[in-house]
Amino acid sequence: YNPLRDDWVLVSAHRVKRPWQGQLEKPPPEDVPRWDPNNPLCPGATRANGEVNPQYEGTFVFPNDFPALQPDAPEPGDSDHPLFRAAAARGVCKVMCFHPWSDLTLPLMSLAEIRAVIDAWADLAAELGASYPWVQIFENKGAMMGCSNPHPHCQVWASSFLPNEARLEDRTQQQHLRQHGVPMLLEYAEQEAHRKERLVVENADWLVVVPYWATWPYQTLLLPRRHVVRLQDLRESERDSLASIMQRLLIKYDNLFEVSFPYSMGWHGAPTGPYLEEDCGHWQLHAHYYPPLLRSATIRKFMVGYEMLAQAQRDLTPEQ
């Protein structure tokens, strides 16, 4: 049972032995040039809208040239039936480059460079969160996860509404606090730190676990030990130790199959905008990592068939 999503996961630990004759993924290219004038994320390159990037030396944030959300999206017309509802979705989409070099990934960056990324995340979360209810920071790494550009970067989408996952986690965490008197993920982190069955890495401020309810084979959950509701609330020392634990986790991922490990990751924290005035103590800041690989660098997990039509299913236990 996954208390964060209020749903169930089918674990079939014997199925990982079945022979594989399905699709094999190509390993990622290893000859990414450090700088390419034709790569729109590189310093000094020209982007699709004709703008020229500055010769940036650290992180670089700019508006997405192909945004999924617009600040001035029109109101839809009135619905003539309750089964045909629509509402305006407004927001802004930004891209953030982690580093000027295209051939680097987060685990290959220095602790100071990763710390600069964390600070930029927190600044964006605070800046966009001043007016928008939800700010989603996420990184798609690797072509397998639909990343169209190898340059190290993430995206930040701020929306005028709470997306589905945020609404779900808001409800489940609220219910848990009401019933048990303690934030769900604070209690969960304490339990996992004590049990040590699914612990991947830990330090004084953070721990990373394969969650008990993981659906992806190498899924992880990054949790602070202290009660923190938003990324921008982290202390200086916690930002330093976050850089350290992220580097350790991502090096472990890369070493697992000796390949630059693909994943989608993202931060979840208490809603912002109008919610800044409300008590959001039921929330606990956390990051989800969802890597697609199953048995090797070339065999991935597909969420199809039963997963799409019934519920998530995994072929090995989280402890395995």
Q: Annotation-wise, does 149 bind a ligand?
A: no
What's at 70, amino acid-wise? Q
* DSSP one-letter string for 123-165: HHHHHHHTT-SEEEEEEEESGGGT----SSEEEEEEESS--HH
Asked if residue 50 has pLDDT above 80, the reply is: yes
CA angle 6, 7, 12 (to 5 degrees): 145
Query: Residue 271: what pLDDT?
Result: 98
Whether residue 3 has pLDDT greater than 70: yes
What's residue 207's pLDDT? Answer: 98
Task: Check the annotation: does 148 bind a ligand.
Answer: yes
Residue 146 labelled as part of a binding site? yes
pLDDT in tens, 123-140: 999 999 999 999 999 999
Note the pLDDT tens digit of each residue in 217-255: 999 999 999 999 999 999 999 999 999 999 999 999 999
Torsion of CA 78, 135, 108, 198, to 10 degrees: -100
3-state secondary structure of 6: coil
Instruction: Give the catalytic positions in this structure.
Output: 153
Q: Please, what is the average pLDDT of the chain? A: 94
φ, ψ of residue 265 in degrees (nearest 5):
-130, 160
pLDDT for residue 25 is more than 80: no
For the chain, give the percent of residues with pLDDT over 90.
Answer: 85
Q: Check residue 20 and give its pLDDT.
A: 65
The structure tokens listed for 183 are 């934030």
Question: Is it true that domain 26-77+84-314 has CATH number 3.30.428.10?
Answer: yes
154 is in an annotated binding site: no
pLDDT level of residue 109 (50, 70, 90 thresholds): very high
Confidence check: pLDDT of 15 > 80 = no
Residue 140 is assigned to a ligand binding site: yes
Q: Which pLDDT belongs to residue 19?
A: 66
pLDDT tens, residue by residue, 154-213: 999 999 999 999 999 999 999 999 999 999 999 999 999 999 999 999 999 999 999 999
Q: Which of 268, 287, 265, 233 is nearest to 135 (CA)?
A: 268
C-alpha 222/C-alpha 185 separation (Å) is 10
Q: Is 245 helix (H, G, I), strand (E, B) or coil?
A: helix
49 is in an annotated binding site: no
Is 194 among the annotated ligand-binding positions?
no
pTM: 0.95
* In contact, 301 and 216? CB cutoff 8 Å: yes
For 116-125, the pLDDT digits (tens) are 999 999 999 9
Widest CA span in the chain: 57
Tell me the two tokens of residue 76.
């839809």
Ranges of each domain in the chain? 26-77+84-314
> Rounded distance, CA 221 to CA 213, Å?
10
- Annotated binding residue at 18? yes
Q: pLDDT tier at 16 (50, 70, 90 boundaries)? A: low
What average pLDDT does range 12-22 have in this prediction?
72
Query: What is the distance between the alpha carbons of residues 58 and 213, in angstroms, rounded to a whole number?
Result: 37
Which two structure tokens, joined as six digits, stand for 62?
A: 């700019």
Is 313 assigned a ligand-binding role in the annotation? yes
**CA–CA dist 165, 106 (Å, integer):** 26
